[in-house]
């Protein structure tokens, strides 16, 4: 009986050691490609497509740790990004002697501490009610950062923009290439930390809480601490993503840059990309970033641009809606699982044709 | 140590009710070190509720239990785990989205020392811990002949194998008292024999004190050193298996029970 299960199981293998060299090679090639990207891609692509894709991936990664790994639903992603961005702005304005990398980390820590605070209710409430409480963070910070001019330095537009062009790690953020490399380094570093966490005891504790929290406590998992850690780490990453979004992508930001729509967008990214996987955040962000382009291209090709832009946007929303329902019902593990299946199928076809 | 003279567990006058309905009333019994104590009785007799009190899922209305010399009541599940009280649930309570080995490693959580920062940065202490945990989990999986399933996601495995994974998870942290809630339920005769043999082996080789809830009287009488019979939250009988088998109250409760447990 168990033999049958063992034979049926390979598709569900968590990690296949035999595949490791292949993955490693893919990772190295991938790293070289992304490092060399600015040589081939135009500034427009780097600024308008690649940078937002990477930053949204990072934000998705942050939310995925909380929702996909620790099972805590949140609609407050935008709020934590906002906290990060406004904190970084405050440092740049009021403590200009603080080096940008340190300010970035500090902004992340402030956002993480905020997450910790707003994660406290999670030890008492779950599911739907937790969504409502995370939703409250969205409205609270939207109000806070508009209400007190200190946060936006009294700018008449209510927006925040850095007083002088930023240089991070000695790279000038003035140009598209510089911005790209900064975003790339930050996103890669935080992804590496997240991978370490989810493969370690921290990540196992999160997943145990997600899968069955009573059993987790009985087995010896500090469930309350695990939940708070998930909120803190998730908000740290979201805060850093918020800094990048505001100052490496948008240039200037306001409360509206991090509204509820942003929170939904990040939630959609992890649902479409795959809950509880690191790569899912990337797949989801790629999808969300590229779908509008693909639709635009299609409408140009098929209808020679006669389609109204507003209609296209509504069409795009409808596609998202349908896809999200479909993924939630049919494939909660999202694009990550679909692509895995594709790779497995191709692998079986080309490497072991008969087995 | 004075603890050597004490019982492993001394349940004293524990009562529990749910919304006014008595689940357990004034229950007292002792479990000696290194014995298998079976809790039997019809459904709803309060057996699982008692286990839930022992590992802190429920708080008793009154009474306490003394575990290794320390009087306890209303403890947190985490506290119970830290004190070495392990548990297998009635229906498997595995972490369904995780691999077999990850499930078992979660059972080592209370021994984890590396901090979040150390894990995130992959510092030496986190790496050493990860290696040690993996080795210990593999060792425990070997006891159950489960190494070949180590990387399989548990929900893909049949029920009987999952039960063994749950036993491994409860065991890996080195408990001093193991609470087993119907470990043989839903299994065929062959699997029952296998799990029963494992339980006997754990008790013999590791000198592990075990409290076992089981309906299969044949196996209970063979396996247990000591049987406590519950009915409607009260203790009906308490003694060695032979005495229980011949106890007229027990026979009446079992034969009289509408569920026909004896046939199980």
How high does pLDDT run on average in chain A?
86
pLDDT at B2: 46
pLDDT at A37: 84
Q: How many Å is the maximal CA-CA distance in chain A? A: 72
pLDDT at A58: 98
How many Å apart are CA B88 and CA A259, to the nearest integer?
45
Question: Has residue A21 been placed in a domain?
Answer: no
How far does CA A268 lie from the centroid of its chain?
Answer: 10
A154, B26, B39, B213, B262 from B43: Cα distances, Å: 69, 19, 12, 11, 12
A51, A114, A139, B205 from A80: Cα distances, Å: 19, 8, 11, 53
Question: Has residue A11 been placed in a domain?
Answer: no
Least CB–CB distance from A218: residue in B77, B116, B133: B77
pLDDT at A3: 37
Domain ranges of chain B: 2-84+175-263
**Which residues 192-231 of B have a C-beta within 8 angstroms of A?**
none
**Which residues 48-67 of B have a C-beta within 8 angstroms of A?**
55-57
Least CB–CB distance from B158: residue in A5, A193, A207: A5
- Is a pLDDT exceeding 50 seen at residue B255? yes
Nearest Cα of chain A lies from the Cα of B173 at a distance, in angstroms, of: 9
pLDDT at A6: 37
Nearest Cα of chain B lies from the Cα of A39 at a distance, in angstroms, of: 31
CB contact, 8 Å: B141 with chain A?
Answer: no
How many Å apart are CA B122 and CA B173, to the nearest integer?
23
- Is a pLDDT exceeding 70 seen at residue B58? yes
C-beta of residue A169 within 8 angstroms of C-beta of residue A105: no
Measure the CA angle with vertex B207, ends B204 and B210; round to 5°.
Answer: 90
Q: What would the two tokens of residue A32 be?
A: 């070289």
Question: Has residue A25 been placed in a domain?
Answer: no
Of A169-173, A285-289, B73-77, B95-99, give the lowest mean pLDDT range.
Answer: A169-173
pLDDT at A351: 66
Instruction: Please give the residue that has the higher pLDDT: either A236 or A295.
Output: A236
- What ipTM goes with this model? 0.89
pLDDT at A62: 98
Question: Has residue A52 been placed in a domain?
Answer: yes
CATH of the domain at A248: 1.10.3470
Cβ neighbours of residue A266 closer than 8 Å, sequence gap 6 or more:
A56, A59, A60, A63, A77, A78, A238
Question: Has residue A18 been placed in a domain?
Answer: no
- Is a pLDDT exceeding 60 seen at residue B3? no
CB contact under 8 A, A200 and B126: yes
C-beta of residue B107 within 8 angstroms of C-beta of residue B170: yes
What is the 3-class SS of chain A, one letter each residue?
CHHHHHHHCHHHECCCHHHHHHHHHHHHHHHHHHHHHHHHCCHHHHHHHHHHHHHHHHHHHHHHHHHHHCCCCCCCHHHHHHHHHHHHHHHHHHCCCCCHHHHHHHHHHHHHHHHHHHHHHHHCCCHHHHHHHHHHHHHHHHHHHHHCHHHHCCCCCCCEECCCCCEECCEECCCHHHHHHHHHHHHHHHHHHHHHHHHCHHHHHHHHHHHCHHHHHHHCCCHHHHHHHHHHHHHHHHHHHHHHHHHHHHCEECHHHHCHHHHHHHHHHHHHHCCCCHHHHHHHHHHHHHHHHHHHHHHHHHHCCCCCHHHHHHHHHHHHHHHHHHHHHHCCCHHHHHHHHHHHHHHHHHCCCCC
Overall number of domains in chain A = 1
- Is a pLDDT exceeding 60 seen at residue B85? yes
Instruction: Please give the residue that has the higher pLDDT: either A163 or B111.
Output: B111
Nearest Cα of chain B lies from the Cα of A244 at a distance, in angstroms, of: 21
C-beta of residue B264 within 8 angstroms of C-beta of residue B218: no
pLDDT confidence of A196, banded at 50, 70, 90? very high
Instruction: Please give the residue that has the higher pLDDT: either B168 or B19.
Output: B168
C-beta of residue A172 within 8 angstroms of C-beta of residue B74: no
Per-residue pLDDT, averaged over B150-163, amounts to 92
For the stretch A164-175, pLDDT in tens is 776 666 666 678
Which of A74-100 are b and which e, b meaning 16 or more Cβ less than 10 Å from the residue's Cβ?
A: bbbbbbbbbbbbbbbbbbbeeeeeeeb
Least CB–CB distance from A207: residue in B76, B97, B160: B97
- Is a pLDDT exceeding 90 seen at residue B146? yes
Torsion angle, alpha carbons of B89, B95, B99, B105, to 10: -70
CB contact, 8 Å: A197 with chain B?
Answer: yes
Q: Please write down the long-range contacts of B24-29, taking CB distance under 8 Å and 24 or more positions apart.
A: B24/B49, B24/B50, B24/B53, B24/B60, B24/B230, B24/B233, B25/B233, B25/B234, B26/B63, B26/B234, B27/B63, B27/B230, B27/B233, B27/B234, B27/B235, B28/B63, B28/B235, B29/B228, B29/B235, B29/B238
CB contact, 8 Å: A27 with chain B?
Answer: no
pLDDT confidence of A261, banded at 50, 70, 90? very high
pLDDT at A339: 87
**What letter would DSSP give residue B172?**
H
Per-residue pLDDT, averaged over A143-153, amounts to 94
Mutate to test the interface with A, among B120, B133, B163, B167 (most CBs of A within 10 A): B120
Whole-number percent of chain A with pLDDT over 70: 90
- The pTM (predicted TM-score) of the whole model is 0.88
Instruction: Please give the residue that has the higher pLDDT: either B116 or A130.
Output: B116
Least CB–CB distance from B119: residue in A14, A201, A220: A201
C-beta of residue A62 within 8 angstroms of C-beta of residue A237: yes
Domain B2-84+175-263 sits in CATH 1.10.357.10? no
Per-residue pLDDT, averaged over A73-89, amounts to 96
For the stretch A17-40, pLDDT in tens is 555 677 778 888 888 888 888 888
CB contact, 8 Å: B161 with chain A?
Answer: yes
CB contact, 8 Å: B89 with chain A?
Answer: yes
pLDDT at A20: 66
Question: Has residue A118 been placed in a domain?
Answer: yes
Determine the structural domain holding residue A288 and report its residue range.
Answer: 40-350
Q: Which residues of B touch A193 (CB under 8 A)?
A: 120-121
Question: Has residue A155 been placed in a domain?
Answer: yes
């Amino acid at each position: 009986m168990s033999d049958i299960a063992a034979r049926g199981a390979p598709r569900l293998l968590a990690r296949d050691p035999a595949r490791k060299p292949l993955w490693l090679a893919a990772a190295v090639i991938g790293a070289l490609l992304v490092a060399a990207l600015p040589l081939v891609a135009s500034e427009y692509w780097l600024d308008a497509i690649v940078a937002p894709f990477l930053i949204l991936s990072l934000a998705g990664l942050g939310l995925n740790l909380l929702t996909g790994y620790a099972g805590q639903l949140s609609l407050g992603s935008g709020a934590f990004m906002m906290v990060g961005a406004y904190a970084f702005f405050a440092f740049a304005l009021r403590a200009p002697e603080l080096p940008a990398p340190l300010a970035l980390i500090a902004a992340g820590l402030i956002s993480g501490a905020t997450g910790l605070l707003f994660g406290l209710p999670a030890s008492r409430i779950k599911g739907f009610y937790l969504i409502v409480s995370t939703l409250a963070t969205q409205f609270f910070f939207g109000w806070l950062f508009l209400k007190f001019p200190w946060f936006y330095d009294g700018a008449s537009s209510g927006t925040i923009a850095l007083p002088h062009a930023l240089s991070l790690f000695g790279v000038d953020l003035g140009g598209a290439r510089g911005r790209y490399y900064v975003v790339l380094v930050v996103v890669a570093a935080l992804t590496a930390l997240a991978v370490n966490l989810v493969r370690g005891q921290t990540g196992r504790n999160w997943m145990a809480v997600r899968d069955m929290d009573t059993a987790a406590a009985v087995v010896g998992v500090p469930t309350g601490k695990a939940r708070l850690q998930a909120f803190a780490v998730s908000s740290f990453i979201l805060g850093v993503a918020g800094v990048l979004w505001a100052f490496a992508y948008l240039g200037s930001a306001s409360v509206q840059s991090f509204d509820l729509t942003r929170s939904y967008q990040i939630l959609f990214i992890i649902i479409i990309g795959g809950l509880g996987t690191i790569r899912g955040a990337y797949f989801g962000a790629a999808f969300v970033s590229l779908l509008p382009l693909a639709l635009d291209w299609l409408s140009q090709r098929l209808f020679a641009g006669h389609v109204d832009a507003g209609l296209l946007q509504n069409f795009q929303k409808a596609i998202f809606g349908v896809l999200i329902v479909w993924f939630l019902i049919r494939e909660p593990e999202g694009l990550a699982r679909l692509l895995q299946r594709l790779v497995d199928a191709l692998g079986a076809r080309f490497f072991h044709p008969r087995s | 140590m004075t603890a050597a003279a004490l019982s492993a567990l001394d349940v004293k006058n524990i009562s529990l009710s749910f919304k006014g309905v008595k689940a357990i009333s004034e229950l007292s019994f002792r479990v000696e070190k290194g014995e298998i104590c079976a809790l039997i009785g019809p459904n709803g007799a309060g057996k699982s509720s008692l286990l839930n009190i022992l590992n802190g899922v429920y708080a008793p209305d009154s009474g306490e239990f003394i575990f290794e010399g320390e009087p306890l009541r209303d403890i947190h599940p985490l506290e119970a785990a830290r004190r070495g009280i392990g548990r297998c649930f009635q229906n498997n309570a595995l972490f369904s989205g995780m691999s077999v080995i990850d499930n078992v490693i979660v059972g080592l959580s209370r021994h984890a020392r590396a901090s979040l920062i150390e894990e995130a940065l992959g510092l030496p202490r986190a790496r050493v811990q990860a290696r040690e945990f993996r080795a210990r989990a593999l060792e425990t999986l070997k006891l159950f002949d489960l190494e070949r399933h180590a990387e399989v996601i548990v929900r893909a495995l049949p029920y009987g194998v999952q039960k063994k994974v749950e036993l491994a998870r409860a065991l890996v942290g080195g408990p001093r008292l193991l609470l087993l809630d119907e470990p043989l339920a839903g299994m065929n005769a062959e699997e029952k024999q296998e799990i029963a043999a494992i339980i006997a082996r754990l008790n013999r080789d590791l000198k592990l004190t075990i409290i076992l809830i089981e309906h299969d009287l044949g196996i209970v009488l063979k396996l247990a050193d000591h049987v406590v019979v519950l009915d409607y939250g009260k203790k009906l009988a308490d003694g060695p298996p032979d005495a229980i088998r011949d106890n007229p109250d027990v026979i009446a409760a079992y034969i009289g029970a509408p569920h026909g447990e004896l046939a199980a």
